Amino acid sequence: MKHLWLIGMMGSGKSEVAGRVAMLNGVQSIDLDERIAGTAGRSISSIFEEAGEDGFRRLEATALSAASREPRSVIATGGGAVLSTENVMIMRETGSVIHLVAAPAVLVGRIGDDAERPLLAGGEAAERLNRILSERAPLYAAASHHAIDTGCLSAAEVAERANALWNQS
């Protein structure tokens, strides 16, 4: 498989694991949210404020499509990348998709009430995470080839498992 696509909720460890797996394989790590912010010249929160979630999702689809055409890479997607069936199709056709899973309590412990997480703005983080997770869980399951529960594992352990799954495919 060409790429390794990491999907999952915010706080599941996608960016950290992507960097570690990329280092193990001597390939680039792409963080789609960082790439979107860099291209737009503003933070993800600012993009959400100015363009709304729909505007952000359009930028995300463009960035994901562009990343799919790059040389073999490990790509950390945004948590909502699976909301687009076209994004899912691109990921599944161009690589191995691994869902990094974590229980809501673990996610809240990792990210808290992070003001830079626009989907958590204006409310109780645990409550909003539970709602988002219940909406997205079936999408993550349908999009992924594999899943790794990150709740009790270190980033290094998750990276080792993801690397093994990627290199088996």
Q: Give per-residue pLDDT as tens, 27-49.
A: 999 999 999 999 999 999 999 99
User: Higher pLDDT residue, 11 or 164?
Assistant: 164
CB neighbourhood size of 134 (10 A):
10
Domain ranges of the chain: 3-164
Record: fold of 3-164: Rossmann fold (3.40.50)
Report the greatest alpha carbon distance in the chain.
43
Question: pLDDT per residue over 78-107, tens digit each?
Answer: 999 999 999 999 999 999 999 999 988 888
pLDDT band at 124 (very low <50, low <70, confident <90, very high): confident
The whole-model pTM stands at: 0.91
Question: pLDDT per residue over 50-63, tens digit each?
Answer: 999 999 999 999 99
